[in-house]
């Protein structure tokens, strides 16, 4: 299996203290055709994204999955919310998006969720499409 972090290209980052300490990462993420993207994970702070090309299947805990298309933006609150999917919806083209992640100091950009936690929180996931 390829390293899910290998498709992330950092564009810049900054420490900010105006709103409390935070570390901001700006990256592009390039998903090959049909890529499932990163496994379920969470971020320590909010994430703001913009689709540069392609289509992204986007799913957060408690919300139905949806398709975000090139030219559209998305966001997630971070914290305790599980980010289930950020997958390429296209089988014949890549999907590329820009993400700005506001992280707690000393925390990783994302942390993966264990199978045990996914099972414990299954009741919080929106019903899956048929």
Q: Across all residues in the chain, what is the average pLDDT?
A: 88
Q: Residue 91: phi, psi to the nearest 5? A: -95, -10
Q: How far is CA 36 from the centre of its chain?
A: 11
Distance CA 13, CA 29 (A): 15
* Domain range list for the chain: 4-123
Are 54 and 41 in contact, with CB atoms under 8 Å apart?
no
Query: Does the pLDDT value for residue 1 go beyond 60?
Result: no
pLDDT digits (tens, 9 = 90+) for 45-72: 889 999 999 999 999 999 999 999 999 9
Give the confidence band of 8 by pLDDT, cuts at 50, 70, 90: confident
Alpha-helical (H) ranges within the chain are 115-120
pLDDT, position 4: 64
DSSP letter (8 states) at residue 79: T
CATH class of 4-123: mainly beta
pTM of full prediction above 0.75 = yes
Give the confidence band of 19 by pLDDT, cuts at 50, 70, 90: low
């Amino acid at each position: 299996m390829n390293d899910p972090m290998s498709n992330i290209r950092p564009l810049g980052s900054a420490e900010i203290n105006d709103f409390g300490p935070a570390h901001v990462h700006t990256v592009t993420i390039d998903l090959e055709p049909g890529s499932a993207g990163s496994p379920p994970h969470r971020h320590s702070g909010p994430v703001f994204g913009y689709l540069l090309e392609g289509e992204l299947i986007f799913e957060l805990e408690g919300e139905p999955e949806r398709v975000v298309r090139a030219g559209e933006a998305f966001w997630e609150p971070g914290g305790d919310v599980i980010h289930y999917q950020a997958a390429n919806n296209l089988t014949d083209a890549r999907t590329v998006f820009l993400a700005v992640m506001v992280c707690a100091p000393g925390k990783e950009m994302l942390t993966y969720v264990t199978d045990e936690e996914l099972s414990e929180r299954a009741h919080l996931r929106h019903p899956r499409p048929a």
